[in-house]
Structure 1
């Protein structure tokens, strides 16, 4: 997939495009519907135009939005899986936010050979979200671009949205989040050296670092999940896992950490890329009075994990 960084206006280009515009955080089922519709037109390559950062974070400093369900490296991978061939990443700043809807369409989008634009019905554009899809249709008509507006996808009467999914993840409701995403919630990073406490207790774990801090972090607790390990020589290995996310109160941890114990696995995974899928929340973090009680709980969690996968 071709990546184009946009700091002001997009570069002039004659490639025929079906352009889908949106934040695409999570690339959830609603986003999939937009992308599938765009690919059906066969009027050009499917391209996505999105923002580097959430407007609520840049303009309001709202920490609810300083993390992502899918940081850019993850978002691009998912978009490519949906057949997207070009990705315009708008560097969203306070200065960029002052651009009017008219300027965005007539001065920015006009530089591209857009055959059709696809957006969701909740789409807004321009300074202070001044314009809606009706305004977009009128402005695009001035430069001969048709606009397709897709109704918002709903689940049990509620709109599927990134905001809802964020809340579910932060509350540990990963099963419900999976229903809206269309896949399990995944955090990707690289394995780093930890304190090796798990190994001494008979439960060697892998510690995830790297780009993990860019994700919306799941509620602290213990989860059943799957680890996908990327190996340049052998492709992707999948292993069932127990995932611990949080602050490790028994050992007085001070920072949020994601670590995983892979069931029926032994080996060295340091520096390897690992994607952890969160399938089910087992329980909150527990502060034990000693390590023996911690080990008892870990053995119980392991049994419950085996039962979970046997029943899948």
Structure 2
């Protein structure tokens, strides 16, 4: 997959089959669109093109709104899109000037002049252009003038599976990992750097890797204990992870800490990815470290059982 920063330097793409959108999370609703453009491209000896915007439009148009949390960073989204058969990923810097383009300007400049779109395939609710004033009607109206075809993924094809990025965010924020994973078609993941912590876990037999997620907009699931897969470039390990403030020891800041099973390596400052498999319990405050250790022993049994079913 080739990643293009903007559209200004794109060379002509043969029979460009195009879709566009934020595609946050690349969930199974998105995957229906990706599968369709791949099929059309294969039938026409063409190439698939996905136009997306970064930063997320809401981060630019509503910078005061801190409530938007995303399911995927741009690198995560790019990796997923490549897996689903995208040949060209066009990353358009989303600015206020870009947001002010009329629907026809967008169609003429981006779709026609720069990408030379052969066929445009969109979801039923796709909007574009200034004040989100463009949609399927505008695409169909201008398609003959700019020499491309338009296909809409029908409403029922998307809605019958009841998927949206908003529903997935809501599930994750309530700790409902199973529903989120079902809608994503894979395990939800969070990546970060391993940093030094207080090393309390080591004193009770459960050493943990503290994970620092640099992207403030990345959605972190609800506080609690989770069964996870811990991934580096080469391997996957089983583990149990805690998100929260560690109330038993009077913690004040939220942390993400993972105990990697059957593992004894120095991974400080390395990048790892966490795949969430199941929610085990909510975070709890215990009367003593002995009580906490006993609960962790029970948690480990539950987590190992959960992961053994994969």
Q: How does 1:117-136 map to 2 (within 5 A)?
A: 117-136=120-139
Q: TM-score, normalised by structure 1?
A: 0.90
The residue aligned with 2:245 is 247
Q: C-alpha separation between the residues in 2 aligned to 1:311 and 1:105?
A: 49
SS at 2:13's partner residue? strand
The residue aligned with 2:293 is 295
Q: C-alpha separation between the residues in 2 aligned to 1:227 and 1:258?
A: 13
The residue aligned with 2:268 is 270
Residue 311 of structure 1: how far off its partner (Å): 4.2
The residue aligned with 1:233 is none
Q: C-alpha separation between the residues in 2 aligned to 1:104 and 1:140?
A: 12
SS at 2:96's partner residue? coil
Q: C-alpha separation between the residues in 1 aligned to 2:117 and 2:309?
A: 49
The residue aligned with 1:37 is 36
The residue aligned with 1:308 is 306
The residue aligned with 2:3 is 3
Q: How does 1:1-312 map to 2 (within 5 A)?
A: 1-6=1-6, 10-16=8-14, 17-41=16-40, 42=42, 43=44, 44-60=46-62, 61-65=64-68, 67-110=69-112, 111-152=114-155, 153-154=157-158, 157=160, 159-211=162-214, 213-230=216-233, 236-312=234-310
- Cα offsets for 1:49-83 (capped at 9, x unmatched): 11113323322343232x31010010011111112
Q: C-alpha separation between the residues in 1 aligned to 2:79 and 2:35?
A: 16
Q: TM-score, normalised by structure 2?
A: 0.91
- Cα offsets for 1:198-246 (capped at 9, x unmatched): 112210111212445441110011111111122xxxxx21111101112
Q: C-alpha separation between the residues in 2 aligned to 1:139 and 1:114?
A: 12
- Cα offsets for 1:256-279 (capped at 9, x unmatched): 221111122222222332111111
Q: C-alpha separation between the residues in 2 aligned to 1:251 and 1:132?
A: 54
SS at 2:106's partner residue? helix
Residue 36 of structure 1: how far off its partner (Å): 1.0
Stretches (4+) displaced over 6 A: none
Q: Which runs of 5+ in 2 are unaligned?
A: none
Q: Which runs of 5+ in 1 are unaligned?
A: 231-235
Deviates more, 1:261-270 or 1:216-225: 261-270
Report the RMSD for the aligned CA atoms in angstroms. Answer: 1.9
- Going by fraction, where is strand more abundant, 1 or 2? 1
SS at 2:70's partner residue? coil
Residue 12 of structure 1: how far off its partner (Å): 4.9
Specify whether residues 141 and 163 from structure 1 end up closer, same or farther in structure 2 by C-alpha distance, changes over 3 A only.
Answer: farther
Residue 169 of structure 1: how far off its partner (Å): 0.8
